[in-house]
Structure 1
């Protein structure tokens, strides 16, 4: 009996520490998601415009069954000569009550224009489109990501002290691969909801499986990993270095929250800028279900058809989203660990 108790205590302590870290990460994920979702919506809308197929207006758009049912009775007498054209005008005048293809949207010019347009045409619900899957994605993803990073970076440095300087890079990359793969289906749902294509999570998942099979649920995963793995490697390497430098400065001494906030913001800005081209590809692959091109093929086609600048589409809202989200997330996580007594 005396030998059983010591062996059970470490497991309970480890479990308690993991739960406390998970709680701190969950709190940070919720706060960050509420803050950055409108900026994410703007980014997705801007990046989805890079798809050439979405800019080819149809001279006579075919109306859906729902559109004919909604407008047919009210405008039957008005539509005898040019039913399709008049119905589209009718739908627009009725605040987009019918389903009009995304190709008919006005071209957006920048983050502010995108936010203003979405709010004017769709209201607050449009600005926070995709928030449910964002929360469903952010909480488990962030918990898995941050707790895995903490464990890997400390255990790796302990087991392989000669590799300690590389541990933030290796641990961040490994943790991101696991987290991104697990939540890939929810990432697909969130992107399609934020693009305004569909509004229901279940219907998006069902339609994706029916049209393109189960593998479609991981659509964009290659581009997501191409974006997120180097992002994590750059972010954590820069974050740990910047945090160590800030600890040496007297104005940041004994202020770990300020250290985390500033280091997280700076590291996030650099990582976001470098990985934006892969974010553009990921968005295009998830918005256009018919796209069968690989990540490298999409990159080459974008450069060939729209120039190198197309690779940085959505950089402003991406930075506007990532810089505060990185700062808020890491500082909230550190505050949570301090409050809960976790080293």
Structure 2
């Protein structure tokens, strides 16, 4: 990746992440409260839906920039490798490239996103604490598990959620863009067309990975570490299988609309800078 492409991915990713989080934060709050132990109204209901916005905004730009720098960079590096591994199937090589690159992008972004998510979700379900107060409590290490464990609680489950999500979203997003461009007999789709493709791809990925999102939310809200499988069995035994799809409506709506803005803004800014 040359300097111009690096800067384009950096700035386009930052703009995309910040605009999406600002626009759809209330829906994310409603989704978190639906998934939390005790249910929606016990965790705040419709009040204070912007609680935790500070941590989200601070992390939006760097996490999205990290994702797109890694994603765009790895597409160029890994495509020749997959072409060699799959010489007879160009479409499969392209899909594998997007899955591999987006997975590495998500892992990079989670270095920033996970601590911000922990702070954000605890603030969303707390009736008085601000994002700063939540951060201070985590840094005090009151549970004795260490600052790293407190800030990165739910790291493994977030990765477990993000990799399947991105392996569905980005290959589908790139496939839809490619087909639309071919149908229109042009090299690239317009920003609004990329936005529509992002909306559809994001909705499909969001609905499919909701159970993993529920587990991630419960782990981040837990005061102590809990093994993922043990938590899943406990939820199934005490609350039933439908709990794994708690918040599927808000999550799908939020990520569908968010995907439209996120990838639409990215396409628009990147086309100007690249």
Pick the TM interval, shorter chain. Answer: 0.7 to 0.9
Does residue 111 of structure 2 align to residue 181 of structure 1?
Answer: yes
Distance 1:148 1:242, change over 3 A: same
**TM-score, structure 1 length as denominator?**
0.71
Look up the match of 1:144: 66
Look up the match of 1:289: 223
Q: 1:132 is matched with which residue: 43, 54, 58?
A: 54
Q: 1:205 is matched with which residue: 135, 141, 147?
A: 135
**Matched positions, count:** 262
CA distance in 2, matches of 1:283, 1:14: 38
**Cα deviation per residue 1:238-282 (whole Å; 9 max; x = unaligned)?**
111121122222499864223311221111111111111111111
Look up the match of 2:248: 315
Q: 2:177 is matched with which residue: 243, 258, 262?
A: 243
Q: 1:275 is matched with which residue: 209, 214, 217?
A: 209
Structure 2 stretches of 5 or more lacking a match? 86-92
Look up the match of 1:260: 194
User: How far apart are residue 21 of structure 1 and its match?
Assistant: 2.1
Bigger CA radius of gyration: 1
Distance 1:305 1:144, change over 3 A: same
With 203-212 and 309-318 compared, the bigger mean Cα shift is at 203-212
With 243-252 and 190-199 compared, the bigger mean Cα shift is at 243-252
**TM-score, structure 2 length as denominator?**
0.87
Does residue 239 of structure 2 align to residue 306 of structure 1?
Answer: yes
Structure 1 stretches of 5 or more lacking a match? 1-12, 56-104, 109-113
Q: 1:223 is matched with which residue: 120, 142, 157?
A: 157
